[in-house]
Amino acid sequence: MKDLLLIASFALGGAACAGLLGALVLRLVRQRSAAVSLMVVAAVTVTAMLAGTLAVAQAMFLSSHDLTVVTLVVAMAAVVSLLTAFVLGRWVVARSRELTLAARDFGEDGRFLAPPAPATAELAALSRELAVTSATLAASRERERALESSRRELLAWISHDLRTPLAGLRAMSEALEDGMVDDPARYHRRIRIEVDRLNSMVGDLFELSRIHAGSLTINPSRISVRDLAADALSGADPLAREHGVRLVGEEIAHVPVEVDGKEIARVLSNLLVNAIRHTPADGTVALGVASRADAVVLSVTDGCGGIPDEDLPRVFDTGWRGSAARTPPAGAGLGLAIVRGLVEAHAGRADVRNVPGGCRFEVTLPLKA
């Protein structure tokens, strides 16, 4: 038993010396290729075995012939181990290089194509993560392009819509200044109308900028959707009468919700005004409220004749005003964008779909205990 312990001690001492030397070498080459590290590991393994064997041989006073045989056997094992480590290292390096090139292409055109050759589990996991990141960035770029296109359209429309009333205001003010007007009161009324129109557009721009900047503050309170709907209907009634549109409330249920009453009132007002402007005279605009298990749905149905299917996904985009038939005489296509922003700020969802004779806008708000 003592002999075995002695042999183990000598073998452990020799192997430990080789291991310490190998650790130092690995530290020196830690920034080199993986192939070099693998060869160092293989060399340390064989050297540790040889050092332990030599230490035991010296302690046991083996003959020179036996020591030569042992050394030769260990040397052959070392050659095989180093060759195996070299081949494995080259394979790992090649797979890593392929992954690097794929990642470089990913950075250039935004798409990542995983190398077809098989790789280690770690490299395969990294390829999958890069593929997921590529898809996420592609979607982000697409949203950015859509937003940039929307911004360009908005700037063009805003520039046009601001220029028209400003030109009218200038012409009317010059006419009043030159005394060329027979009915100044009519011009004053017209000036006030144009100023109100400009003020409304600027207000919409300010509200939309707050939404996009994330500076919109929601102050929720418990309120009944029936009260919100009643206030919205009474506020839109004068415009409906002016356009000859019937404004009705469909089975408005009494459902308490935790929302910012002012902001949701603006949502309903924007939807009703939009619906009234696009509904022909003698048409009907209906406001409905329905409750679900975990949400309440407010809907506004108009008689606009429907929206083309290809335009439905863009209805809530900033600056969208649709076809000429649906383009209002005023505004810059900000109302529905504001609706979506305010609803999403309440963790809700805004949708639109065509129904017989028109379209229905639905606002889904979650119910909170």
The region of weakest confidence among 147-151, 200-204, 223-227 is 147-151
This prediction's pTM = 0.57
Helical segments of the chain, H only: 2-28, 34-60, 64-109, 121-178, 184-213, 225-243, 261-277, 335-345
Q: How much is the average pLDDT of 191-218? A: 78
Band of the pLDDT at 47, cuts 50, 70, 90? Answer: confident
266-295 b/e with 16+ CB inside 10 Å = b?
bbbbbbbbbbbbbbeeebbbbbbbbeeeeb
Among the listed residues 135, 148, 159, the one whose alpha carbon sits nearest the alpha carbon of residue 317: 148
- Check residue 364 and give its pLDDT: 92
- Check residue 272 and give its pLDDT: 92
Residue 109: Cβ-neighbour burial (10 angstroms; 0-12, 13-18, 19+)? exposed
- Check residue 325 and give its pLDDT: 39
- Check residue 330 and give its pLDDT: 45
Q: How much is the average pLDDT of 108-117? A: 68
